[in-house]
Amino acid sequence: MIGELRNIVGSDFVLDSNIDGYLRDESAKGVLTEPCRDVIVVKPASTEEVSAVMKVAYANRTPVYPRGGGTGLVGGAVPTKKGIVLSFERMKGIEIDEENLMCTAEAGVTLGELLAESERHNLFFPPHPGDEGAQVGGLVACNAGGSRAVKYGVMRNYVKGLEVVMTDGAVLRMGGKLLKDNTGYDLMDLFIGSEGTLGMITKATLKLYPRPGSSVTLVVPFDSEEEAIGTVSRILRGGIMPLALEYVENDWIQASAEHLGLRWPCDGKAQLMMIIAESSEEATYAECEKVSEMLEGKDVIMAERRQEQDDLLKVRSNIYEALKEHALDTLDVSVPPNSIGKLIEFVHFIEKEYGTRIPVYGHAADGNLHLHVMDDALERFVDIKRRIYERALELGGTITAEHGIGKARTKDMRMFLSPREIELMQEIKRVFDPYNIINPGTML
């Protein structure tokens, strides 16, 4: 089979040694997925080559694991059986359609490249899940979210068209540069968030926006978690819709800044970071004025220069990396936004009960928190995770808002979904992938 694969993509792009970098993702040490090392890494350069590879795999009933930037946190891209790791790193085509406010990007285009190319055309791609090394195929397959979801939504809200190679090599082209399409079942929507289990996403058409004319980043310190979280709903109910509205606790944001060699501009037990972005400077500063009036008596730190804003976002995005050495897992539970304070209160109760620290931060305005279980709680790890999940469900939430199920949370998923729901998902999987060769062991 390796000879057939070399004939398709070229000998230089089929690897059977020195492949360790393709066998892992960014999961914390407590939930690392053990990889199968008996795999071949194949790097196609086109949809046609992906199709030919899938035909070979289908004929031989060989598992195929789609590989993007490897930035996932639940083992979704990790191969667990002998087979093929299909890396999209060579598929870099990108085209901006300024008139339709659309971008068509191949699966291997990174988020950083997508943002830069959009900006070059004075356009804006809103989703930002954090790691700009993530690739378009993975962003779609995992329905990536991030800090900007409160104003602009998640990847599902931007995907207008997909090109997908099926398990037998057939190519589906769904949607396009359309804002409306009501033709039959929405098959395209099934692939968004499918975690690479239904087909190989090779190309996506994504909606863009005009680039904001101005942005400002605000940081506001508070004396307590309750005060910080209580302010979130006041801001939103007051008619202010920030591009991002993040909750951080001082110990962890300072640790991240130190890890990067940067300075965080304030102390305060809990803090909110807001990005205000509008069409003009006047509109941006008008929103900032509203925030200042609403938070009268609070120190509102404002970053206006691009580098200052980038540094603040970099520190916020780096918290996981700063804590990763001692983290067993990073949970990404989601609750209704008005219940986020209750979840934080419960997490701090668990900290005291188990004698550990559980770093808390996240997307305050959309109810999605990132909670780290640290390695000093190794013997109680399973209990802590279970109790946090149970509390999130009691509050009307779910066990994952962004990271997905992957291979690390397949058992946890049964806490939230009924047997019938899981059965329906398994039936959908069988229709698209009857021999279970596309990313087996992921999600289901």
Written out in words, the top-level CATH class of the domain with range 323-419 is alpha beta
The confidence score (pLDDT) of residue 393 equals: 97
> What are the structure tokens assigned to 309, written together?
């804003």
Q: Let me know if the fold of 214-317 is the same as that of 323-419.
A: yes
Picking from 129, 88, 96, 366, the residue whose alpha carbon sits closest to that of residue 207 is 96
Q: How far is it, in rounded angstroms, from Cα 382 to Cα 281?
A: 49
**Measured distance between the N- and C-terminal CA atoms of the chain, rounded to whole angstroms:** 28
Listed in order, strand segments (DSSP E) in 49-150 are: 64-67, 83-87, 94-97, 102-106, 123-124
Length of the chain (residues): 444
For 189-193, the CB contacts below 8 A with 24+ separation are: 189/156, 190/428, 190/432, 191/140, 191/141, 191/162, 191/164, 192/140, 192/141, 192/143, 192/155, 192/156, 192/159, 192/162, 193/141, 193/142, 193/143, 193/156, 193/404
**One pLDDT digit (tens) per residue for the chain, 444 residues:** 899 999 999 999 999 999 999 999 999 999 999 999 999 999 999 999 999 999 999 999 999 999 999 999 999 999 999 999 999 999 999 999 999 999 999 999 999 999 999 999 999 999 998 899 999 999 999 999 999 999 999 999 999 999 999 999 999 999 999 999 999 999 999 999 999 999 999 999 999 999 999 999 999 999 999 999 999 999 999 999 999 999 999 999 999 999 999 999 999 999 999 999 999 999 999 999 999 999 988 999 999 999 999 999 999 999 999 999 999 999 999 999 999 999 999 999 999 999 999 999 999 999 999 999 999 999 999 999 999 999 999 999 999 999 999 999 999 999 899 999 999 999 999 999 999 999 999 999
Pick the CATH number of 214-317 from 2.40.30.10, 3.30.70.2190, 3.30.300.30, 3.30.413.10: 3.30.70.2190
| Residue 75 and residue 407 in contact, taking contact as beta carbons nearer than 8 Å | yes
| Residue 162 and residue 176 in contact, taking contact as beta carbons nearer than 8 Å | no
The confidence score (pLDDT) of residue 381 equals: 96
| Residue 112 and residue 231 in contact, taking contact as beta carbons nearer than 8 Å | no
Q: Which residues contact 287 (CB under 8 A, 6 or more apart)?
A: 240, 242, 276, 278
Specify the DSSP element, H or E, that contains 200.
strand 200-207
Q: How far is it, in rounded angstroms, from Cα 172 to Cα 188?
A: 9
Domains of the chain, by residue range, sit at: 2-89, 94-210, 214-317, 323-419
Q: Average pLDDT of the chain? A: 96
φ, ψ dihedrals at 111, nearest 5°: -60, -40
Specify the DSSP element, H or E, that contains 369.
strand 368-374
**Number of neighbouring beta carbons within 10 Å of residue 400:** 22
What Å distances lie between residue 117 and 89, 155, 204, 341, CA to CA? Answer: 17, 18, 15, 39
Written out in words, the top-level CATH class of the domain with range 94-210 is alpha beta
Q: Tell the burial category of 387 from Cβ atoms under 10 Å away from its Cβ (0-12, 13-18, 19+).
A: middle
Assigned fold of 2-89: 3.30.43
